[in-house]
Structure 1
């Protein structure tokens, strides 16, 4: 049989053209290339671009497979705070590595600390559904929430949570006292951001008093949330436990948080893997 392609059609992209596509996706947007107004490339836009630029007709599924072969994946981007000082961040990481080594020989524990708010009206996440039938998650449309203070030990994967109706200096002090109660007779080194409640006068008074002798605070460089591994713990909670679930009130949210807490307490190795640390 004669399997020749129709005149004018090129059967595939050359290796050089494939690398050009890879760089196009990684370093430009369709706007940059003068190819529409979309903020990022997808298979539909690439299909048109490839046909016009190289004279190659490819299916969207073929383009998807090509991108995978080029070691690209379809992922949700994350924000990077442009005010972060890269030099200070590097210096901080070096200082912290020294502190970690020193702690091994002392009666001390190193925790990364943060607080977050878990809302009933959480952002939805991609999931499987029947073609043409978008999954619908019930909602009252309200904004009930539960605040959580958390501490994670990046050496052992141990996690401590404290739930509160709001995050303020008073509830932060409650969290510190409970953390101290759990780890009696240990010196607790806490790495945390520069949130206002962490610098509150009542918190400073607590640290200056007898109760505060058990604590030492190390503050992250400004605008550097990526240096706090517990941020990845919050993402795990919100993406895989809270999202796409109907929570009718604060009690429902609290129950989901409790299930998550019970799970991670039983799986410290997975905690370390998820937050990007090793035992």
Structure 2
């Protein structure tokens, strides 16, 4: 995605933060068609989220991955990289340290698009 989405980093994803994220993406892409692939997190199935998708179904198509199939979810490879390079076997004293660690890992990933492309290649 070319768009840079701004906002506070949230440690816990909930339906309201997911809807906020969807709104940011929608503002950038509307009225162009969006094909959205999502996993099976509980907030993906929230009534408000389902209502939002229904209200935007003319241009926003949603595809849900099968449950318990991380091999179909490209994001899992990126999360694995994040855990290995950022959080695995490390003591993080507080939320601030976790936030700083994740920011460092994500910025490092931004500077290496070929590495990210390699993780995602099997899904292309």
TM-score (norm 2): 0.78
Q: Which residue of 2 aligns with 1:207?
A: 53
Unaligned runs of 5+ in 1: 1-152
Higher helix share: 2
How many residues matched? Answer: 123
Q: Which residue of 1 aligns with 2:39?
A: 193
Is the contact made by 1:194 and 1:222 (CA closer than 8 Å) also made in structure 2? Answer: yes
1:164 alignment partner, SS class: coil
Q: Write the mapping of 1:167-186 to structure 2, written as runs, cut at 5 A.
A: 167-183=13-29, 185-186=31-32
Shift of 1:180: 2.5
2:40 alignment partner, SS class: coil
Is the contact made by 1:192 and 1:220 (CA closer than 8 Å) also made in structure 2? Answer: yes
Query: Considering only CA atoms, is the larger Rg found in Structure 1 or Structure 2?
Result: 1
Is the contact made by 1:190 and 1:218 (CA closer than 8 Å) also made in structure 2? Answer: yes
- Which one of the candidate residues 249, 253, 273 is aligned to 2:94? 249
For the pair 1:273 / 2:82, whether they are aligned, the reply is: no
Higher strand share: 1
Shift of 1:262: 1.8
Is the contact made by 1:272 and 1:278 (CA closer than 8 Å) also made in structure 2? Answer: no
CA RMSD after TM alignment: 3.0
State the distance in 1 between where 2:62 and 2:93 align. 37
State the distance in 1 between where 2:15 and 2:118 align. 31
Is the contact made by 1:169 and 1:198 (CA closer than 8 Å) also made in structure 2? Answer: yes
- Which one of the candidate residues 188, 196, 218 is aligned to 2:63? 218
1:217 alignment partner, SS class: strand
Is the contact made by 2:37 and 2:62 (CA closer than 8 Å) also made in structure 1? Answer: yes
For the pair 1:229 / 2:81, whether they are aligned, the reply is: no
Unaligned runs of 5+ in 2: none
